[in-house]
Amino acid sequence: MTNLTIAKINSAQDYLDSLRGRKLKLYLMGEPVDDITTHPIILPSINAMAATYRLAEEAPELATVVSPLTGERISRFLHVCQSADDLVMQNKMQRRLGQLTGTCFQRCVGMDAINALYSVSYEIDEAYQTSYHQRFLAFLKEMHLQNCVIGGAMTDVKGDRSLAPHEQADPDLFVRITRRTAEGVYISGAKAHQTGCLNAHYMLVMPTMRLGEHDRDYAIIGAIPVDAEGITYIYGRQSCDTRSLEPGSIDVGNAQYGGQEAMVIFDNAFIPNEWIFMDGEYDFAALLVDRFTAYHRRSYVCKSGVGDVVIGAAAAVAEMNGVEKASHIKDKLVEMTHLNETVYATGIAASYQGYATKSGCFLCDSMLANTCKHHVTKMPYEISRLAQDLAGGMVATMPSEQDLNHPEIGQLIRKYLKGKASVPTEDRMRMLRLIENLTLGRNAVGYLTESLHGAGSPQAQRVQIARLMQLEYKKRLATVLAGIELPADKAAVVEELGSYFERVFKPA
């Protein structure tokens, strides 16, 4: 069986230690990387993940639970929700981590994947008398014992988007089983823009969309160690990524924290039977995707935490510029807050309205989760624009840190970039660089582009809202009020609320 060799991780330090000495086949800007824990471009993403362990140490009520499988305290990211409150607490932890890191801390995909898989494996078993759910529970218990990081690998590279997986010219354009043995299966293919894989311990590989009967080999869900044989990683570039290679800590904007996205290529990588949680049940692929995206779209509440940082930075720089009393400045901060709280409120509303699946695991409301994520595809862009507005043009024209440190030129910068008397020029520059980082630079990738496309691009939410919006029910409401006689066949069902409204009008 597989290499379950990680001792329980009890702290951020344990976590950092756990990443050392692994052999990964990883390329970054054309070069192999031996040790991710010392690479300046990768380190900030490891720090962001480590923050999830640090929060567990500092605020255990927020960031941990007692595992029902082991009885020990573990990260909330490994917990399967037993109640709507559990769903809500995920959101609260997410916002807090967004505040503390100002970036994507990359651990939600795995959390949402285990929650989705919990109920889907249960329902596959129910339909096909398989035993995926028990296998999954065993896997999950192991994870709880290790208190480790699970990544979720879902997004296939997709090739020609008008063709099904089995119809592609190259069969590898969706991850698939290439070979079966008595011990397990071998998979090939690639997952694109994988958030937080290199700093994880295991990945859950899952299909990316609805599959048909000819796509059976693509209907594979399984767990695999990040350092398994047959996996190649190519690190994704981010705006301003090489600033992390420069000396100093100003121009990089946020010296400590950053996101991470990589391409993950499987070349006959092995998954043992015990870690296979779907194999061929193509008709459950859509359900998995639905459940996962419901959880994950509401997980974007994390961006309200990053938004708190953006608002704070904008307010700070306005103060440093000496204009914080102007009514239009204050009004823009209110607007940013209004938008930011909308992201938070719609997300937690989806969680609060959560309900039990047959497996007992709680699922959030999909309509509100999609409403939340759809706002996330727009509001951070507007918040970001307003932050640049408050920052002033200097955010994009400022001299470099090396200039500031230059013996001659540095004096000129300190003289001329002085704002309010009490604020050192360097502090003002630091705050402006943080805003650059969040709106154009490295963490703009997480705050903006990932907000747009993560958990599904805008149109994916619109499709889902269209599926859930119950027009028949709403048309009946209007028909009755307009004084139109309902046709007999519709009158009969006038009291049917449909799934969404049934949940809405159910006593809390």
* 57 near its own copies, rule: CB under 8 A: no
Residue 427 is classified by DSSP as: H
21 scored as a contact of its own copies (CB under 8 A):
no
Catalytic annotation present for 296: yes
Does residue 352 bind its own copies (CB under 8 A)? yes
Please identify, using beta-carbon distances, which residue of 129 and 397 lies nearer to its own copies.
397
- Return the structure tokens found at 226: 């990040």
Q: Residue 74 and residue 53: Cα distance in Å, rounded?
A: 10
CA nearest to 224, candidates 250, 199, 239, 205:
205
Distance (Å, rounded) from C-alpha 413 to C-alpha 224?
A: 52
Which listed residue (302, 361, 364, 372) is catalytic?
302
Known active-site residue 450: yes
Binding mask 120-139 for its own copies (x = CB under 8 A): --------------------
Query: Which residue, 267 or 283, has its beta carbon nearer to its own copies?
Result: 267
Under rule CB under 8 A, residue 92 binds its own copies: yes
Sign for the pseudo-dihedral over CA of 212, 217, 220, 226? negative
Q: Which of 3, 5, 21, 169 binds its own copies (CB under 8 A)?
A: 169
Residue entry with tokens 């121009």? 251
Binding segment for its own copies among 201-209, 221-229, 269-277, 368-376 (CB under 8 A)? 368-376
Stretch that binds its own copies, among 98-106, 115-123, 143-151, 215-223 (CB under 8 A): 98-106
Interaction with its own copies in 401-420: which residues (CB under 8 A)?
A: 401-403, 405-406, 409, 412-413, 415-420
Instruction: Tell me the C-alpha distance between 299 and 471, whole Å.
Output: 27
Q: Give catalytic status of residue 240 as yes or no.
A: no
Backbone angles phi, psi at 162, to 5 degrees: -90, 0
d(CA 72, CA 68) in angstroms, rounded, equals: 8
Give the range of 141-149, 207-215, 283-291, 430-438 binding its own copies by CB under 8 A.
430-438
Contacting range for its own copies; rule: CB under 8 A; set: 1-9, 107-115, 139-147, 155-163: 155-163
Residue 193 to residue 500: CA distance in whole angstroms: 33
- Mark residues 325-344: x for contact with its own copies by CB under 8 A, - for none: -xxx-xx-xx--xx--xx-x
Q: Which one-letter amino acid corresponds to residue 232?
A: T
Residue 374 is a binding residue for its own copies (CB under 8 A): yes
* Residue closer to its own copies, measured from CB, 21 or 487: 487
* Near its own copies by CB under 8 A: residue from 179, 180, 214, 385: 385
Yes or no: say if 311 and 386 are a contact pair by the CB < 8 Å rule: no
Does residue 372 have an active-site annotation? Answer: no
* Whole-angstrom distance, CA of residue 350 vs CA of residue 462: 16
Does residue number 395 form part of the binding site for its own copies (CB under 8 A)?
yes
Verify whether residue 500 is a known catalytic residue.
no
Catalytic residue among 233, 282, 300, 447: 300
Give catalytic status of residue 300 as yes or no: yes
**Which region among 129-137, 142-150, 203-211, 233-241 touches its own copies (by CB under 8 A)?**
233-241
Residues in contact with its own copies, counted by CB under 8 A, come to a total of 161
Catalytic residue among 79, 296, 374, 375: 296
Distance, in Å, from the CA atom of 243 to the CA atom of 30, rounded to the nearest integer, reads: 17
Contacting residue, 111, 311, 363, 364, with its own copies by CB under 8 A: 311
67 contacts 116 by C-beta, under 8 angstroms: no
What's the CA gap between 288 and 121, in Å, rounded? 9
- Of 446-475, binders to its own copies (CB under 8 A) are 448-450, 452-454, 457-459, 462, 465-466, 469, 471, 473-475
Q: What is the 3-state secondary structure (H, E, C) of 330-392?
A: HHHHHHHHHHHHHHHHHHHHHHHCCEECCCCCEECCHHHHHHHHHHHCCHHHHHHHHHHHHHC
User: Please, what is the minimum distance in Å from the beta carbon of residue 131 to its own copies?
Assistant: 34
Residue 197 annotated to the active site: no
Residues 272-291 that bind its own copies (CB under 8 A): none
Single out the residue of 356, 221, 369 nearest to residue 282, CA to CA.
221
Please say which residue, 178 or 232, places its beta carbon nearer to its own copies: 232
What span, in angstroms and rounded, lies between the C-alpha atoms of 308 and 412?
A: 33
What's the rounded Cα separation, in Å, for the pair 229 and 211?
Answer: 27
- In the sheet that holds 25-28, the strands lie side by side as 31-32, 25-28, 231-235, 261-272, 184-195, 176-180
Element (H, E) at 202: strand 202-205
Question: Which position among 64, 101, 103, 195 bears the catalytic label?
Answer: 195
Residue of the chain from 116, 190, 221, 285 that contacts its own copies (CB under 8 A): 190
**Binding-site member from 145, 164, 323, 356 for its own copies (CB under 8 A):** 323
Nearer to its own copies, 122 or 292 (CB): 292
Query: What is the set of active-site residues?
Result: 104, 108, 195, 261, 296, 300, 302, 450
